[in-house]
A and B are shown apart, each in its own frame.
Chain A
Amino acid sequence: MGGDFLSLQGFWFVVIGVLWAGYLVLEGFDFGVGMLMRLIGRNDAERKAVIGTIEPVWDGNEVWLIVAGGATFAAFPNWYATLFSGYYIVFFLILIALIFRGVAIEYRTKRDDRRWRSAWELAIVLGSAVPAFLWGLTFANIIHGVPIDSHGEFSGGLLDLFGGYAILGGLTSLTLFAFHGAVFLTLRTTGEVRLRAKKFAIRLVAPAAALVLAIFVWSATDSGGTDGKWIAAALLAGIAALLLTLSLGLVFRDRDGAAFAATALAICSSVAAFFVGLYPNVLVSSTRQGNLFGTVTTVNNLTVFSSSSSHHTLATMAIVALIFTPIVLAYQTWTYWVFRARLRGDPLPGGELLRGPNDRPTS
């Protein structure tokens, strides 16, 4: 257990941070598109275009979550175990939402029936909004702290997961993803739909930036820390807010690609700020204990050191990750290149929408 043991844990902490960043950037806009689909798409053809922007890619985007979960399980079993069992009901709700959303995207067009479509569209809206809120809530709880006992087990109740800070975290991610999704739609659509997406992006940017700042102000007062770690985290949060403001300017000037890059980077730097602020903890405990001298300190934090796998596992998995991650990134990036054409919301011949088998009238 030498120095490289420590750096391996650091390496895996960074890997998991990167996986979450990837997940939240990619499924972030899926969530945004899903939430806004009925507002930005006013009729069947427009909604088809709106959903069409994420249909080919959402499935691959969601795998980032699976890999983030799997990597946490493999590299930090205690983190995985305490988090998933402690936040039990929250994760259950996320699962149910993701189930309905995934099925809805695939099944929506499989019947020529207005009520069938409406029901699945509602499932897409709710199935996008609920996890968008709950992921923010989860991350807020991870860094703000929930009761953890001396065995490293969550020892609170359901209400401990719904404190003010956590709700603020949830609202932040909800708004941020809605904005991110609207900007993504300006990039991936054209015509009426794009103009409406642009209007939504402009409306959403101020609340998103304000919420990002608010949560970091609360975090700063929360920790009371002034060490290098917190300065770095604050810097990254500032960059995130700045990037959001920048993306507004880019949306105004119709620089859609650059605007989307800015919101994606804003999410990345928010996630980076989170993980920098969290290290070396992986789950903060709110359990406090006084000592003989009357000083009260927080105990039972889970750290990268107390929750990690063995050196052998971390090293082996690092090799696996270094070989396969570039391959996955290459083919997933290629997918976005294949589906780069903008979609428009009218089913005219020559439009970008492919006319498919189920579009023929039922006999």
Chain B
Amino acid sequence: MSALAATTAELSRWQFAITIIYHFLFVPITIGMGLFVAGLQTAWYRTKQERYQRLTVFFGKILIINIALGVVTGIVQEFQFGMNWATYSRYVGDIFGAPLAIEGLVAFFLESVFIGLWIFGAGRLSPRVHLATIWAVALGSILSAYFILAANSWMQHPVGYHLNKVSGRAEMTSLWAIMTQGNLLEAFAHVMSAAVVTAGALVLAVSAYHLLKKNEVELFAHTAQISLVVLLIGGISVATWGHFQGQLVSREQPMKMAAAEALFETEKPASLSLFALQPFEKYPSKNSFNVTVPHALSFLTDWRWNSKVYGINYWQREYQKEYGAGNYKPIVAVNYWSFRLMIAIGTLLVGWAALGLWLVRRRKLEQSRRFLRLSIPLLALPFLANTFGWLLREMGRQPWVVEGLLKTSDAFSRAVSVQAVAFTLAGFVLVYTLLAAIEAGLVVYVVKRGPEPPADKGEQPKRIELGY
């Protein structure tokens, strides 16, 4: 491959990485907040307490602001497969296109049509039907994640296909296998839990802000408690599914897991690395410094204290035998630190939620200014953890774009010039940065204004009105 083509491929990767990470900032909020707002509106429908009407409208506005950016940046992702990864699209379109098309038809329509009904339909629909529309939005966003993860899981662990000798392409043999494989189910559970955690952290931060300002203390003490429970349960769920996912990946993509653990040589029993450094090169073959816990990696991999875990160098040799000469190692440092930072953040959030609930139990939450103050910047953590998780999943698969079938370096568009990719990369970065600043400003503006005042005595109770 020429140097120019290599640059095109490299820039296309940066563009995809930047736009997908950006898109995935909004996805977990949409899913998590969608469920949260649907829950609030259900509480209002059941109890008719005004506080739930006010909270639904308030958090609903934050949801809408995020959905807007999630939707428009999602279109970019669908187009980009064809625009920048035409060779990939030709090779896997038979399989990969199906979940993408189904996502549009089954999930995205549901979310997009019903969000319009929810925002503007309060005055035109009965309260019961209006409540159903927000649940349809939440369901749509969840299904959306499922189908996109189905497509992604196939890239991690191809199933339900055969290779057509004539066309040289992968062809689908079973949509059912693609839609139900373990890699997908565990990733889905992990991502859903992470979305719930993200929403929990957001609600906690917003509640903490108003509690610190002594604004609507009763209202926000209530949401702070809800968010702490959500955060605790969601965090434990993330960790549980993350663990099982790790075990599955160590069987399905052993190179990825070995890189995530910086395990270069095969060990029996295998020690868990806590802090490892490698020689400063792109594809090192040993650690230069390593703090380990004996037996722990064996135990985490398959629950046995003395099992054998194969290392990076072993898989490199095996893959060379199977696929020919070349590098089959991902960048170890990226995977190793993404993995560890993700876990560290998850653990911290669970601990934080436990601390918060302890304060609630002692009836000291509203007075614990330090806890509340720190809960605001804490909001950055779930976004970082989400990003680290995706870095591990995608960077750990390298050099493959489809594990064992197609390399990333072969997958790019031949018809696109390096100048064109450089231009669009710069364009996306510029536009996305601008929109991120506007979006963040708008969320802060809405959060600071707080909920609408309650209805005056004798006034009609208000509806859930977001359209104006």
Contact B465 A354 (CB under 8 A): yes
Contact A354 B415 (CB under 8 A): no
Return B341 CB to nearest CB of chain A, in Å.
30
Contact B415 A59 (CB under 8 A): no
A69 within 8 A of B: yes
Residue of A nearest to B119 (CB): A56
Contacts of B121 on A, CB cut-off 8 Å? 56, 338-339
Return B88 CB to nearest CB of chain A, in Å.
8
Contact B104 A313 (CB under 8 A): no
Of the listed stretches A196-204, A251-259, A260-268, A321-329, chain B binds A321-329
A110 within 8 A of B: yes
Interface bin, chain B: 35 or more
Contacts of A95 on B, CB cut-off 8 Å? 75-76, 79
Contact A70 B423 (CB under 8 A): no
Contacts of A96 on B, CB cut-off 8 Å? 427, 431
B454 within 8 A of A: no
Residues B221-249 near A (CB distance < 8 A): none
Give the distance in Å from the alpha carbon of A96 to the alpha carbon of B75 in the complex: 10
Of the listed stretches B89-97, B205-213, B276-284, chain A binds B89-97
Return A155 CB to nearest CB of chain B, in Å.
7
A84 within 8 A of B: yes
Residues A199-233 near B (CB distance < 8 A): none
Contact A310 B94 (CB under 8 A): yes
B1 within 8 A of A: no
Of the listed stretches A35-43, A73-81, A137-145, A177-185, chain B binds A73-81
Total chain A interface residues with beta-carbon distance under 8 A = 72
Contact B105 A320 (CB under 8 A): yes
Count A/B pairs, Cβ under 8 Å: 244
Return A242 CB to nearest CB of chain B, in Å.
32
Return B313 CB to nearest CB of chain A, in Å.
37
Contact A60 B86 (CB under 8 A): no
A297 within 8 A of B: no
Give the distance in Å from the alpha carbon of A335 to the alpha carbon of B465 in the complex: 17
Return A353 CB to nearest CB of chain B, in Å.
8
Contact A91 B124 (CB under 8 A): no
Query: A80-B89, A106-B65 given as contacts; is B83 within 8 A of A92 (CB)?
Result: yes
Residue of A nearest to B431 (CB): A96
Query: A77-B89, A81-B89, A99-B431 given as contacts; is B117 within 8 A of A335 (CB)?
Result: yes
Give the distance in Å from the alpha carbon of A91 to the alpha carbon of B105 in the complex: 22
Contact A316 B64 (CB under 8 A): no
Contacts of A89 on B, CB cut-off 8 Å? 420, 423-424
Contacts of A355 on B, CB cut-off 8 Å? 468
Question: Which of A63, A85, A98 is close to B104, meaning CB atoms less than 8 Å apart?
Answer: A63
Contacts of A55 on B, CB cut-off 8 Å? 116, 119-120, 467
Question: Which of A66, A74, A88 is close to B97, meaning CB atoms less than 8 Å apart?
Answer: A74
Give the distance in Å from the alpha carbon of A151 to the alpha carbon of B168 in the complex: 14
Give the distance in Å from the alpha carbon of A107 to the alpha carbon of B64 in the complex: 9
Contacts of B95 on A, CB cut-off 8 Å? 313
Return A7 CB to nearest CB of chain B, in Å.
19
Residue of A nearest to B430 (CB): A96
Give the distance in Å from the alpha carbon of A57 to the alpha carbon of B427 in the complex: 28
B82 within 8 A of A: yes
Residues B279-304 near A (CB distance < 8 A): none
Residue of B nearest to A78 (CB): B90
Give the distance in Å from the alpha carbon of A98 to the alpha carbon of B74 in the complex: 11
Give the distance in Å from the alpha carbon of A59 to the alpha carbon of B104 in the complex: 12
Contact A316 B172 (CB under 8 A): yes
B438 within 8 A of A: yes
A359 within 8 A of B: yes
Contact B82 A60 (CB under 8 A): no
Residues B415-446 near A (CB distance < 8 A): 415-416, 420, 423-424, 427, 431, 435, 438, 442, 445-446
B57 within 8 A of A: yes
Contact B171 A312 (CB under 8 A): yes
Contact A317 B119 (CB under 8 A): no
Contact B172 A70 (CB under 8 A): no
Question: Which of A56, A73, A151, A359 is close to B81, meaning CB atoms less than 8 Å apart?
Answer: A73
Give the distance in Å from the alpha carbon of A107 to the alpha carbon of B61 in the complex: 11
Query: A66-B104, A103-B69 given as contacts; is B97 within 8 A of A85 (CB)?
Result: no
Q: Mark B118-132, 1 if CB is under 8 A from A, else 0.
A: 011111110000000
* B residues at A contact (CB < 8 Å): 57, 61, 64-65, 67-69, 71-76, 78-79, 81-84, 86-87, 89-90, 92-98, 100-106, 108-110, 112-117, 119-125, 164, 171-173, 175, 413-416, 420, 423-424, 427, 431, 435, 438, 442, 445-446, 452, 465-468
13 A-B contact pairs sorted by A residue (CB < 8 Å): A56-B121, A60-B112, A63-B113, A74-B93, A75-B101, A81-B87, A96-B431, A158-B420, A309-B97, A316-B98, A324-B105, A338-B125, A354-B467
* A residues at B contact (CB < 8 Å): 55-60, 62-63, 65-67, 69-78, 80-86, 88-89, 91-92, 95-96, 98-100, 102-103, 106-107, 109-111, 151, 153-155, 158, 309-310, 312-313, 316-317, 320-321, 324-325, 328, 331-332, 335, 338-339, 341, 354-359
Q: A92-B427, A106-B68, A151-B414 are in contact. List 17 more A-B contacts (CB 8 A).
A: A56-B119, A56-B121, A70-B105, A73-B93, A80-B97, A81-B86, A85-B414, A95-B75, A103-B435, A110-B445, A312-B171, A320-B105, A335-B117, A354-B468, A356-B468, A357-B466, A358-B468
